[in-house]
Amino acid sequence: MPDYKMKILVVDDFSTMRRIVRNVLKQLGFENIDEAEDGAQALAKLKTGGYGFVVTDWNMPNMDGLEFFKASRTELSIKDIPFLMVTAEAEKEKVITAIQAGVNNYIVKPFTAEVFKDKMDRIFDKLAKK
């Protein structure tokens, strides 16, 4: 069961998308949400500490989702923070890359709150089992 007070970082270059994801998270009971516009900004924020979960889009300027994820895995303080990658249907081959790189899970847009919850639960279940 994830901690509902956990700070979650939502990353996407389109503010409407961030808002939509924020909305979904709120529906699931998460209120402590922060945002970033691209991978670089997101990485900087993660490093300041306190984040428990990351939801990130793939296609972004400056540093895309995959690069952001990989960069975070090299930092001791943040390398264990779970990542949920948001992707579109047609990017399946990229999803494979991401999963191979160690992304915890991916979710295809558009998604509902239920699907999101499902994905999140799976991530935390897996982590609990470790």
Partner 1 sequence: MPDEMEEIIAEFVTESVETLDKIDPLFVELETKSDDQEILNRLFRSVHTIKGAAGFLGFQSIVEISHNAENIMKKLRDGDIRVSRALMDVVLKSVDMLRLLLGHVRDKDGVQEDTKLLVLELQQALDAAMKTSESAERPEAKGNGQKPEINHPTVDSKPNQGLDRPAASPASEQLQSNATGRSPQPSLATPVPGSALEPAPSGDVPPDKGGTAKSETLQTLRVEVNKIDKVMDLTGEVVLVRNRLLNIVNRLERQYSNDHDVQSLLEAVSFLDLITSDMQLGVIKMRMQPIAKVFNKFPRLVRDISAPLGKTVNLKVFGEDTEVDKSVIEGIGDPMVHIIRNAVDHGLETPAERRAKGKPDEGTISISASQKGNQIVIEVSDNGRGINIDKVKAKALEKKLISDEEAIRMTDDAALNLIFMPGFSTAETATQLSGRGVGMDVVKTNVSKLNGSVEIATFKDKGSTFTIRIPLTLAIIQTLMVRSGNARYAIPLAPVEETLTVSQAEISDMGGSEALVIRGKVYPLFMLSKMLGSEKASYVKDADCKYAVVVAVGDKRFCLGVDELLGQEEVVIKNVSGINTNSSYILGATITGDGKVVFILDLAGISKNAFNLATA
Q: How far apart are CA 19 and CA 81, in angstroms?
A: 22
Q: Does residue 122 bind partner 1 (CB under 8 A)?
A: yes
We find the least distance from the C-beta atom of residue 63 to partner 1, in angstroms, to be 7
What is the footprint of partner 1 within residues 68-87 (CB under 8 A)?
none
Choice from 7, 108, 117, 124 touching partner 1 (CB under 8 A): 108
**Angle value at C-alpha 123, between 105 and 130, nearest 5 degrees:** 120
We find the least distance from the C-beta atom of residue 9 to partner 1, in angstroms, to be 14
Here's the x/- map for partner 1, 52-71, by CB under 8 A: it reads as -----x-xxxxxx-xx----
Give the CA distances from residue 101 to residues 59, 74, 75, in Å, rounded to whole numbers and listed in that order: 17, 12, 15
Q: Does residue 101 bind partner 1 (CB under 8 A)?
A: yes
What lies within 8 Å, CB to CB, of 48 at 6+ separation is: none
- Residue 23 identity (one-letter amino acid): N
Chain contacts with partner 1 (rule: CB under 8 A):
12-17, 19-20, 23, 37-38, 40-41, 44, 57, 59-64, 66-67, 88-90, 92-97, 99-112, 114-115, 118-119, 122
